[in-house]
Amino acid sequence: MAQQISDRRDQDYVLHEMLDVSQLTNTEKYADFNKKTIDMVLTEARNLAVKEILPTQKSGDDEGVKLENGKVSVPPSFHRPYELFCAGEWVAMADDPEVGGQGLPHSVALACGELFTGANCAFMMYPGLTHGCGNIIATLGTPKQKELYLKKVYTGEWGGTMCLTEANAGSDVGALESIATPNADGTYNIVGNKIFISGGDSDMVDNVIHPVLARIEGAPAGTRGISLFIVPKLWVNDDGSIGEDNDVVITGVEHKMGIHGNATCSIAFGGKGKCKGTLIGEVNKGMKAMFLMMNEARQGVAMQGIGFATTSYINAVNYAKERLQGPNLMQMLEADPPKVAIINHPDVRRNLLIMKTYVDGMRAMLYFMGFCFDKVHTAKDDAEKDYYNGLIEIMTPVAKAYCTDKGFEVTSIGIQVYGGYGFIEEYPQAQLMRDCKITAIYEGTNGIQAMDLLGRKLGMKKGKPMMDLMGEINKAIAMGKEAGLNDLADKVAAALGKLGECAMTLGGAAMSEKVLDAFGSATLFQECCGDVVMAWMHLWRAAVAKGKIEGAKKKDKAFYEAQVIGAEFFISHMLPVSLGKMDSVKALTNSIMAMPVDGFSA
């Protein structure tokens, strides 16, 4: 059975029937992107993903990366698709064509990203981090830095990374020990060791550009004294040519549970005292600068969660339609009942429906966030821009955590649907689950996302982004009622009201002597937020579909009916579980912090 990725019909549904992204054609920025053009772009992305990238998923996992004589070799199968990926200007899909991009709407770029990550996430991490590096240069770089690096990075000719983590400074970035010493010519000598650097080196590119966090000698302790530097693997001369070795040495590659095709490197900067870099952004403002890349990366990691989930789901559906096992339950007492495809068995179908509703809801969630980016770029005034930026801010930690946690859950169910074969590496499901696990850990663990949501985002601008998000959900509730989906709309409204109560409870506790208890419930609250956002998306999906069922062609009718049934399943069968979680959040247990340290182990 050939492996597949994603559901093109559903991608089209979210982009065109829910979000109506073609409306962006009315703006100057996206005037060239009508529905026909968008569909052509998605078709080209799908062709590249299926024909060139997907075949590398297993071979990349089997071959892994190699470090020999200080040089990293990626799986040989990666080279051709990387060349094609760069030639198609996919690295900087949503960026200006003048610097190597396509200028796509962000929502459409996310749809393409789902296809690419679903085909092979380990492969996509190379251009993904490269783009994040380019985004820092584009946003904060001096004219000279942009001249030297930007187009080379955005076209994928050079790679890029994000160098934060050190052995004693993981989530606590402020504890880093890398040092920058100023030189007379305006450069800095960089000395330090970084670990867990995804895409840290590659034989697919001529050079690798490292944004490196380091502390200038004499700077304040903690994050207040961190600056950001551009440190190329090979020095780049003033005329743009590649110069001498810059004393950037790969000291190891990690052997990991998954994403074997991506080089996760340990890097020594300045071991011989000859590593140079240039400051990007302001002195001691490195964390603020790096967050430009981290926020993009967190949304990208959310897309990785969806990519793994959607591929696992499509595989499971196709397998369940073909795998014959056991009779239909209604024929069990017959003398010689025929075997049926396992999709006819109720529990298998339940598993598939859980997978489907998570995948469909998460896709709508992330495409909506992409559309918010598009609205920021086309806003008529600052008020509109602030509104959509606020939605992005409040939804980023929720999307990163929810899509990766539930993406992993979906890949686990995907193994279950295959049964024993799912546990065997001959089939793709096991690798998808192994690869997916890292998404809940890197770019800020999901626990850190929960702390960000409670500690920063809920109270941002006196709670306005959270209130605006609730306002968007209320719009869908009204749509649901107009479509005759009153019962579902009422259930979503009740869940939203209860979520608001949870936010008030935790917000108040976080400003009191119960602050630690509040943060002990932050992850559960974040999951509840994700559940309500999912319910919102499913109600929205169903409301749009409801009026299109009558008179639709047979295939479209089944699709539209599935939107209503999917919403009914999630809102009536799965959302009530979240209501119980909300009770737990409101109860604000003190047992988490009350448990003595010695009580955790004999």
User: What letter would DSSP give residue 48?
Assistant: H
Token reading at 163: 């160098």
Q: Distance between alpha carbon 181 and the CA centroid of its chain, in Å? A: 35
Q: Containing H/E element for 125?
A: helix 121-140
Cα 345 to Cα 121, 323, 423: the distances in Å are 32, 11, 20
Q: By the 8 A CB rule, do 115 and 41 touch?
A: no
What is the Cα–Cα distance from 417 to 315, expressed in whole angstroms?
A: 10
Number of other CB atoms surrounding residue 523 within 10 Å: 21
Q: Which of 586, 492, 561, 502 is nearest to 531 (CA)?
A: 492
Between helix 486-510 and helix 522-546 the angle, nearest 10°, is 160
Token reading at 20: 């109506």
Burial of 237 per CB tally in 10 Å (0-12, 13-18, 19+): exposed
Q: By the 8 A CB rule, do 22 and 34 touch?
A: yes
Q: Which of 259, 246, 253 is nearest to 195 (CA)?
A: 253
What is the Cα–Cα distance from 220 to 443, expressed in whole angstroms?
A: 25
Q: Can you spell out the DSSP letters for 373-396?
A: HHHHHT-SSHHHHHHHHHHHHHHH
Q: By the 8 A CB rule, do 139 and 132 touch?
A: no
What is the Cα–Cα distance from 564 to 585, expressed in whole angstroms?
A: 30
User: What letter would DSSP give residue 18?
Assistant: I
Token reading at 213: 């966090």
Q: Which of 283, 301, 304, 141 is nearest to 209 (CA)?
A: 141
What is the Cα–Cα distance from 253 to 251, expressed in whole angstroms?
A: 7
By DSSP bridging, strand 159-160 and strand 208-216 are: parallel
Residue in 384, 443, 513, 561 annotated catalytic:
443
> How far is it between the farthest Cα atoms of the chain?
91
Q: Can you spell out the DSSP letters for 425-478?
A: TTSHHHHHHHHHGGGGTSSS-HHHHHHHIIIIITTGGGGHHHHHHHHHHHHHHH
Q: By the 8 A CB rule, do 528 and 581 touch?
A: yes
Q: By the 8 A CB rule, do 585 and 567 touch?
A: no
Q: Is 561 a catalytic residue?
A: no
* C-alpha angle 317-322-324 in degrees, rounded to nearest 5: 120
- Judged by DSSP in three states, 230 sits in strand
- Judged by DSSP in three states, 344 sits in helix
The tally of CA atoms less than 13 A away on the side-chain side of residue 47 is: 8
Tally of residues, the chain: 602
**Active site residues per annotation:** 443
